[in-house]
Amino acid sequence: MSIASETAGAERTGKAGRQAPPRRRVAESKMTVTKASQALGALVRDIDLSRDFSDAEIATLRDAFNTHGLLLFRDQDISPEAHVAFSRRFGELEHHVLSDALLDGLPEIYILSILKKDGKRVGRAGAGHYWHSDLSYMAQPSLGSLLRAIEVPEVGGDTMFANLALAYDALSAPMRSFLGGLEAEHSFAKVQSVVKNLGLNEPITPEQLAKTPPVIHPLVREHPETGRKSLFLSPGFTTGIVGMTREESAALLDFLADHASQPRFVYRHAWRPNDIVFWDNRTLMHYAINDYDYEKDRRHMHRTTIRGGEAH
Ligand code: SIN
């Protein structure tokens, strides 16, 4: 799909917000799941995400998702409506607070794109160039995100994912016990300076910031489905540890960010067009690498973001 069709379904119906086309139901799934790296992730083959899925198939995918933290689906040339329909099988979807970057007629799709149309940005440009967990600045941080690559640079624009459960396990018992009693503040406002320095997007507005006040989350959280503990790190949004001095807080958060982003905990994804990557924000943090040319390269993606519960 090119950006000429950046209104959901509009190229086929002439109006925004149409219903998804009928989807094929396949009685028996032939999908296979194989590990993508030692740290995390799995490749799911022989699956077409535009079709209808039985509850049993969704349960199988959910198990794989909980086991591997990230599922990669290749060759998914699917419509935005199908992307939303598949994502909904895993929970309620967010409408991102940056409403200018939402797809016309389908606000569940957040557009991450370096492209412009008629001189105007078509989505959020250069987003996520820092380690973070999506929407950690909300009272109910995201369960997971599904990012579909539509156009990608020939080289560059990869995304790194770090496994925060493995990183937690690798800490000493006294450190784990110390961290277990701590909480941290997360704030969307923290990225305002990054946005200004990049100069690619309009600044986040006071209204958008008012909708996303700072929140407090535990520094160690338990996965609600597997019970596994992980660090709750989101360096792009985390502003400090409750009760600590600025220096103590910065030293501890820097140590944890360095620890958790070691190569042994990381999977780096090199995107191909029509890849969909579905990752668990409850156990991973990620980083969109800013090594492509903002003027010459084309990188255009659609993301759905699944709402989570409170972090414990
Ligand atoms: C994000 O969801 O933070 C963006 C990831 C990416 O563009 O690779």
pLDDT digits (tens, 9 = 90+) for 266-291: 999 999 999 999 999 999 999 999 99
Report the separation in Å between the CA atom of 301 and the middle of ligand 1, taken as the mean of its atom positions. Answer: 8
Q: Is 227 left (phi over 0), alpha (psi -120 to 50) or beta?
A: left
Distance 128 CA to ligand 1 centre (A): 5
Least confident residue range of 19-23, 127-131, 171-175, 262-266: 19-23
Atom of ligand 1 nearest to the CA of 286: 3
Q: What is the pLDDT of residue 311?
A: 84
> Ligand 1 site: residues with CB under 6 angstroms?
112, 127-128, 134, 145, 147, 159, 286, 288, 301, 303
The whole-number average pLDDT for the span 289-308 is: 96
Report the alpha-carbon distance of residue 307 to residue 144 in Å, rounded: 7
Core vs surface per residue 148-174: b (16+ CB within 10 A) or e: bbbbbbeeebbbbbbbbbbbbeebeee
CA torsion sign for 33, 39, 40, 44 is negative
Residue 237 · residue 127 · CB < 8 Å: no
- Sequence-ordered list of residues with C-beta below 8 angstroms from that of 227, at least 6 positions apart, any chain: none
In the 8-state DSSP scheme, what is residue 33?
E
Instruction: Indicate which atom in ligand 1 lies nearest the CA of residue 299.
Output: 7
Closest ligand 1 atom to the C-alpha of 147? 2
The yes-or-no verdict on residue 102 having pLDDT over 60 is yes
Domains along the sequence of the chain with CATH: 31-306 (3.60.130.10)
Q: Would you say the pTM of this structure is higher than 0.75?
A: yes
* Strand, helix or coil for residue 36: coil
Q: Residue 100's closest CA among 124, 81, 76, 80? A: 124
Catalytic residue among 132, 148, 221, 299: 132
Encode pLDDT of 201-240 as tens digits: 999 999 999 999 999 999 999 999 999 999 999 999 999 9
Cα of 288 vs centre of ligand 1, distance in Å, is 5
Averaged pLDDT, 139-155: 97
Alpha carbon 25 to its chain's center: 28
